[in-house]
Amino acid sequence: MRTKGLLFQKGLTLIELMVALALGSLVAVSIIQALISNRLSDDLNKSIASAQENGRFIMTRIRNDVINGAYYNPLSAALNKDTDVIEEAAFLRTNFVPLPGAFVSRMALGAVEGNNGESDRLVVANQALRDCRGYKLGYDADEEFFVVNEFYLENNSLKCSGFDGRWLRGQKAPEGHNAHRSVTLMENVLDFQVMYGITRTNNANAPGSPVRYIDASELAAAFANDAYVVALKVAVVIKGDGDGFVVEPAEFKIFEEEKITAPDRGLYKAFQTTITLRNAYYFARGIQ
Model confidence pLDDT, tens digit, residues 116-128: 889 999 999 999 9
In a domain? residue 25:
no
69 vs 125: CA distance, rounded Å = 6
The count of domains in the chain is 1
Residue 233 has pLDDT above 60, yes or no: yes
Looking at 29-43, 76-90, 245-259, which range is the least confident one?
Answer: 29-43
Q: Is residue 254 part of a domain?
A: yes
Q: How far apart are CA 89 and CA 146, in angstroms?
A: 9
Q: Does residue 8 sit within a domain? A: no
Q: Does residue 80 or residue 31 have the better pLDDT?
A: 80
Phi-psi category of 46—alpha, beta or left, where left has phi over 0 and alpha has psi -120 to 50?
A: alpha
Does 90 map to a domain? yes
What is the rounded average pLDDT for all residues in the chain? 86
Do residues 194 and 178 make contact, with C-beta atoms less than 8 angstroms apart? Answer: no
Alpha-carbon gap, residue 199 to 229, rounded angstroms: 6
pLDDT single digits (tens) 30-78: 666 665 555 556 666 777 888 899 999 999 999 999 999 999 999 999 9
Give the integer Cα–Cα distance in Å for 208 and 193. 23
Residue numbers of the domain that contains 170: 45-286
Whether 52 is covered by a domain: the verdict is: yes
**Considering the domain boundaries, does residue 279 fall inside one?**
yes
Q: What is the pLDDT of residues 169-193, one digit of tens each?
A: 999 988 876 667 899 999 999 999 9
Q: Tell whether 120 is covered by a domain.
A: yes
Give residue-wise pLDDT tens across range 14-26.
676 676 676 767 7
Question: pLDDT at position 196, please?
Answer: 97
Least confident segment among 102-111, 245-254, 273-282? 245-254
CB atoms within 10 A of CB 2: 4
- What is the average pLDDT across 191-200? 94
